[in-house]
Amino acid sequence: MIPQPQVRHDQAPVTESDLLLQVRDLRTYFRLDEGMLKAVDGISFNVYRNRVLGMVGESGCGKSVTAQSILQIVPKPGVVQGEMLWHRDGQTVDIGGLDPESEEMRAIRGNEIAMIFQEPMTAFSPVHTVGNQLMEAYFVHGKLDEAEARARAVELLDLVGIPAADRRVDEYTFQLSGGMRQRAMIAMAMMNRPRMLIADEPTTALDVTIQAQILRLIRRLQAETGAAVLFISHNLGAVANLANDVAVMYRGKIVEFGTVRQVLKNPQHPYTVALLQSIPGFGYRRGDRLQSIRGSVGVPIDPPDECPFRGRCDRFDPALCGGSMPASVEVEPGHQVACVLYEARS
């Protein structure tokens, strides 16, 4: 039996006016000496206002590179291709067509779309105070009132639950606990009231109590501001608790997409099923073996045009699975699966 994480019930319908970001055929490739590394290989999805999209998969599946591609911060020699249509104030901007260093991209990055990075100790400077770094995020977008910036920094540190915020604002990150540093990172991301927040593994290296607090904080901020959230994680329990929709990634491709209830309560792709089966559930006894997915993700350098999961799939059928990468098939309204088993039924 597949253990089922507790899922959200607030599945409000979306409208065309709620659409913030349309990603179409996104490809992020790195030309290496060994060949072409296809970190993100032709994925498409939408992000909506006041809604959380969870992106899950093992390490190396392309989740973080997807986030970097949206913000145009992919390190060299990475090349980003595809459409990323950002809707704002009646206008549509193709982020994918912007120069990463252009004024327009800088105006979007950190201002309209902000990111909570995975490890705050590498994202924060150790030689500047927390307050100075939060204020810098304010100043870089043309807001120059220092008193206003400091007041905003203190307000946000208090909002994210850092005690004595008026004192902590003048401290350095090494003086804060891991949970406080992550809260400060969230505060910095919220400095300019972004319309979309990207959270890249925001609970990594935190104990479970602090993880739960951070997830509640992100959910509360999202509900209060109406911002869209792209929540990247390998923790299916966290995604179940926070997300409205789920995209399951494997080796640079989205293999299953749907609402959190569709994907986690009724998984269809063999990879999604395997991920859920690997979660320890209630009833496990000492000495019981946990289920695992055999093999590893591997590095997608010059990958063949075939199902990327075929070498690890328990349902692999040579008669069916020997062709090219299967198309995405809608198995129920809004629930899509890229698997030849469903392609054959359609």
Residues 39-56 pLDDT 10s: 999 999 999 999 999 999
> How many alpha carbons fall within 13 Å on the CB side of residue 302?
5
For the segment 254-271, the average pLDDT, to the nearest whole number, is 95
**SS3 at position 259:** strand
pLDDT band at 196 (very low <50, low <70, confident <90, very high): very high
For the segment 173-190, the average pLDDT, to the nearest whole number, is 90
**pLDDT score, position 5:** 58
For the segment 74-95, the average pLDDT, to the nearest whole number, is 93
Pairwise CA distance, residues 91 & 96, whole Å: 15
Q: Which domains does the chain have, with CATH numbers?
A: 19-112+194-297 (3.40.50.300), 123-193 (no CATH)
Report the length, in residues, of the chain.
346
If one counts every other C-beta atom within 10 angstroms of the C-beta of residue 70, the result is 25
**pLDDT score, position 8:** 52
If one counts every other C-beta atom within 10 angstroms of the C-beta of residue 325, the result is 18
pTM of this structure: 0.90
Question: Is pLDDT above 60 for 11?
Answer: no
Question: Is pLDDT above 70 for 95?
Answer: yes
For the segment 80-104, the average pLDDT, to the nearest whole number, is 93
For the segment 1-26, the average pLDDT, to the nearest whole number, is 71
For the segment 248-277, the average pLDDT, to the nearest whole number, is 95
Question: Is pLDDT above 90 for 92?
Answer: yes
For the segment 241-260, the average pLDDT, to the nearest whole number, is 96
Contact 20, 49 (CB under 8 A): yes
Max CA separation in the chain (angstroms): 69
Pairwise CA distance, residues 24 & 250, whole Å: 17
Of all residues in the chain, the percent with pLDDT exceeding 70 is 92
DSSP 44-104: EEEEETT-EEEEE--TTSSHHHHHHHHHT-PPTTEEEEEEEEEEETTEEEEGGGS-TTSHH
C-alpha distances out from residue 161 to 52, 168, 183, 225, Å: 22, 11, 7, 17
Contact 326, 307 (CB under 8 A): yes
Residues 269-326 pLDDT 10s: 999 999 998 887 655 667 677 788 888 888 999 999 999 999 899 899 888 887 889 9
Q: Across all residues in the chain, what is the average pLDDT?
A: 88
* Two structure tokens written together for 325: 């990468």
**pLDDT score, position 1:** 43
Question: Is pLDDT above 70 for 4?
Answer: no
